[in-house]
Structure formats: structure tokens, C-alpha cells
Amino acid sequence: MPTSASLVTNLPADFNTFGQAVDTSMSELLGGTTGQVLSKTSATNMDFTWVTPQAGDITGVTAGTGISGGGTSGDVTVTNSMATAITTNGDLIYGTGSGTFTRRGIGSTGQVLTVSGGVPAWAAASSGAMMLITRQTFSNVATTTTTFDSVFSSTYGSYYVVIESLYAATGADDLHLQWRYAGPTTQAASYFGNDVGVESGTTTITNSAQSNTAQSVLTRYIGPSTNPGQGQFFAYNLSGVSAEPSLYANYAEGGRGSTSTASVQCLAGRIYTGFLLKSSSSNITGTVSVYGLVKA
């Protein structure tokens, strides 16, 4: 029979048969103190213990700096306010005071980050500086069309271009350059100049004239994948105003060590914005860096 302290689960059933044992397992629910919560003591049915909640249990979420949302009940939504302040590709976030911030939109090609009025701001590079505008690696491309578009601007007076580890599927191919202008459109005529090449191990010098050709020839031997070549060219009259650009190039192919020099002017005055490189008859692979020399 239950005592006065027993907590029975089913009183009618327990008294159905006189004298039978009754289930007093719920007696563990007795006791406890104010603020305690019920916790399972083991996996056994009806095995409970009154415990005091541990410090650190979440009873509410309060938003802090850079965070919004929070609450004390139901589903809690927390938002990274710093991330949602970003609206556009290239945005930067900077502080505007204690716990506050705002976005700075991306600058234009060739600009550098400086300080204006106590906050970060984009501005033209200081006079006389040589700035890396872009450095791109390409593999097995028919031409570098689009890769070096929008690299020329009024920020710079002239350009220095470095060609590294360049090779063609047909190593004996010529390396061609064509200027590009708004559109973008490729300038495919009016190149005048010459290129001079010296074959490795010989004294033979080949001078090739370029007279109203479809492109500039930078070298007559790019080099194969086993021995990539390298070179550079200096280009000017590409400063954001209509002009006839010129270039002066040096190149050495790695396979035989042949060297070449080219000087080519394009007699079609335009506002040119970029260039493309290609070989005379096969795919090319390499890395090219474009530096701008800021106007004095």
C-alpha cells in the first residue's frame, strides 16, 4: 500500500486489487527548490533529479557592434551588419567612430588607397610612380583578347610590360601584338616599323620590315614549352587621348637563346585602352605584367 509520502501513477488501478504493490516511481518528482529544473539522472524511465541551472545557459541574445537582431524568446535572428553594409563588388568597410562603420566603393583602375579628410579614399597614384596595373597568367589561348582590355588610362603617360615564361605550341611562331580601343575593338592595320633578330650561335642578323601590317611583330621566335621565352616592351602615346602609339620591344627565346628587338608605331590615332598578344599560328601560354608610369 502507498504511504502518505508515495506519489502513485495510477491510483484507480493501484486500488483495483486490494493489497497489491503500487508504482511509486514518480516519487522522485517530489522535492527540489525554487529555480531548480528537472534533469534526467539516467536513461531509466522515471529517473529524475532536481538540479540548479548552470551559469551560461542562454536566456537572451543582445546585439553588439556590427551585429543586429537578437531577443529572448522564440527563434532568434542575428545579422552581421558589417556584411550587409557591403553592396557592391570591391566595397571596403572602414570605421567612422566608436562602434560605427560605413562602406567605401571601389576606385577606378590604377588608383591607390590614400587618406583624405581623415578617412580612406581612392586617388591617383603620386606623380612619378610606376604602378602594377595587372598581372595575368594564361594557358593555351588563341589570343589574349579581353585579358588586357582597360589597362590604359589618362592616369599614366606610358607603360612597361613584362613578358615571362611565354611559349607557343609551335615554338618557331612569331609573337604579335595589336592595340585595342573602345568596344573593345582590335586595331588590325597601320602598323609600321621593323624587327631585328639574331639567331643563336650565328652572326646572321635578320631585319624584317613591317609596313602597314595587321599587327606588330615583337619577335620571330616565341620559343617552345620546353624553353619558354621572356621579354619586355615599353609603350607610349597611350595616355587616354587620341594618339599614334609606339612600342619598343626586346625578347629572348629560351630554346636557342635567339634575341630580337622591335620598334613599331601604329599610324592610326585613337584613344587606345588595351592590347592583345597572339602567336602567328598556334596557342600561347605565359604570364604578362602591365605597369603604368604615372604622368609627371
Partner 1 sequence: MTTLKDMIAIIKAENPTLQVGDDEQGYTQLSATEYEAQVTEWAQGRLEKEAKQAEANAIANAKSDAVVKLTALGIDPKALGL
Q: Please give the Cα distance from 179 to 270 (Å, whole number).
A: 10
With respect to partner 1, which residue has the nearer C-beta, 27 or 170? 170
Task: Please identify which residue in 63, 76, 113, 142 interacts with partner 1, judged by CB under 8 A.
Answer: 142
Per CB under 8 A, 216 contacts partner 1: no
Per CB under 8 A, 283 contacts partner 1: yes
List helix spans (H) across 91-244: none
Per CB under 8 A, 147 contacts partner 1: yes
Grid cell locating 244: 599614334
Stretch that binds partner 1, among 60-68, 122-130, 135-143, 266-274 (CB under 8 A): 135-143
In the DSSP assignment, the letter for residue 29 is G
The distance of closest approach from Cβ of residue 144 to partner 1 in the complex, given in angstroms and rounded to an integer, is 7
Stretch that binds partner 1, among 42-50, 106-114, 166-174, 190-198 (CB under 8 A): 166-174
The distance of closest approach from Cβ of residue 137 to partner 1 in the complex, given in angstroms and rounded to an integer, is 5
In the DSSP assignment, the letter for residue 26 is G
Per CB under 8 A, 185 contacts partner 1: no
Question: Which candidate, 275, 70, 282, 292, places its Cα nearest to that of 188?
Answer: 275
Question: Which candidate, 111, 126, 117, 110, places its Cα nearest to that of 94?
Answer: 117
With respect to partner 1, which residue has the nearer C-beta, 25 or 283? 283
Per CB under 8 A, 282 contacts partner 1: yes
With respect to partner 1, which residue has the nearer C-beta, 148 or 291? 148
The distance of closest approach from Cβ of residue 219 to partner 1 in the complex, given in angstroms and rounded to an integer, is 13
Per CB under 8 A, 41 contacts partner 1: no
With respect to partner 1, which residue has the nearer C-beta, 291 or 294? 291
The distance of closest approach from Cβ of residue 172 to partner 1 in the complex, given in angstroms and rounded to an integer, is 7
Contacts of 229 (CB under 8 A, 6+ apart): 163, 166, 167, 219, 221, 222, 223, 251, 252, 253, 254, 255
What Rg, from alpha-carbon coordinates, does the chain have? 38
Q: Which residues pair with 51 in a beta bridge?
A: 37
Per CB under 8 A, 189 contacts partner 1: no
Amino acid in position 117: G
Q: Please give the Cα distance from 55 to 89 (Å, whole number).
A: 44
Using DSSP's 3-state secondary structure scheme, residue 81 falls into helix
Question: What does the binding site for partner 1 look like in residue numbers (CB under 8 A)?
Answer: 136-147, 169-170, 172-174, 280-283
